[in-house]
Structure 1
Amino acid sequence: MSKSKKKETQEVPDQEMSAEEVLEERTEPEEALPEEPQTGGPGEEPEGTEETPVVEQMVSKDQFLRLAAEYDNYRKRTAKEKESLWTDAKADTVQAFLPVYDNLERALKQDTADEAFKKGVEMTMNQLKEVFARLGVTEIEAQGQPFDPNLHNAVMHIEDENLGENTVAQVFQAGFMLGEKVIRFAMVQVAN
């Protein structure tokens, strides 16, 4: 811009407002950017000194806010996915140890004359249960509980007047949960 045009834009009548004043009224005050040094010969207009129209400034602010919101959503989504991956990996690992738990449980149900052997199996089973507890794995309560298809897998049905309607009569295989996620359903026999 030439010097005469700069003077004209600085002297704005009271009723008219410049684009900068309109922007300042609609947005929060921002730090002023340092002016770029003017280059070029006399009579040439330096690049970048024209005022940005109000609409373009508002659009760029809107785009910035949308980009910031998209980034925040991306950050939250990836954190949630990371937590989900950790839970799935832990559940898969525990599921790999469940056959060991089943074998130890069967070994404890067998009668043996060797008390040292029985004591060793009991200690191993207790240690495995402690590890599960530290990982947040809990056994699904089934014996004598009302049948819940979200937790139990019914493989047999019996008629028993001593038990209530849809009550778990016997547990064939223990079920486990990690928090709210079922790792393995309890295999049960349901009465009535």
Structure 2
Amino acid sequence: MSKQEKKQQDPAVEEVPVEETQAQTEPQAAPQQEAAADPLLEELEKLRKQMDEKEEQYLRLAAEYDNFRKRSQKEKDGIYQGAKSDAVAAFLPVYDNLERALKQETADEAYKKGVEMTMTGLKEILSKLGVEEIPALGETFDPALHNAVMHVEDENAGENTVVDVFQAGFKLGEKVIRFAMVKVAN
């Protein structure tokens, strides 16, 4: 059939050369690819943002957990130190009594030796627990460590110097369990 006969049979069908058909479809294909690529890029960007948000949430959660863990450990340590200092404070009157007993003169050497051994044992136990006696005699008065119960005028002693200790003070690390009761020279 010739072209003209085809036109006469179906007037709606127009014959377009093959080259024109290919030229028309190619430009249309590029916008379709761009149109299809745009939603994919948008979806990719959306997923990246979601991933970034989730990563930030994860990092915050990890930081919160780490802070919680550290805070809990610090609280446990504080409770342990508090309990230990309370237990030591309960034994300090025994220390004071042994110290008074050592200062008393006695004719019984076995008794004196027994009191000395008991005091030595108590000091070793306190030392193992990390409890140390607060140095006081001859030191400069420090209100963070000493409790001044008396003041005395003494030219031989320097200003604010501890000249007598009535009761020994103790500390556990940096925490004062009991202040040293002292006499201070003005």
Shorter-chain TM-score: what band?
Answer: 0.7 to 0.9
**Residue deviations 1:74-112, cap 9 Å, x none?**
011101111111111111110000000000000000111
Alignment of 1:104-119 (within 5 A): 104-119=98-113
The alignment's C-alpha RMSD in Å is 1.9
> Counterpart of 2:41?
17
Match status 1:151 vs 2:152:
no
Using the size of structure 2 for normalisation, the TM-score is 0.76
Aligned residue type for 1:176: F
Gaps of 5+ in 2: 1-32
Gaps of 5+ in 1: 1-7, 23-51
Alignment of 1:109-188 (within 5 A): 109-188=103-182
- Quote the Cα distance in structure 1 between the aligned partners of 2:71 and 2:60: 16
- Quote the Cα distance in structure 1 between the aligned partners of 2:43 and 2:56: 17
- Aligned-partner SS, 1:154: strand
- Quote the Cα distance in structure 2 between the aligned partners of 1:18 and 1:60: 18
Identity fraction in percent:
64
Give the drift of 1:18: 5.4
Q: After TM superposition, which residue ranges in structure 1, 4 or more long, deviate above 6 angstroms?
A: none
> Counterpart of 1:40?
none
Q: Flag the structure with larger Rg.
A: 2
> Counterpart of 1:85?
79
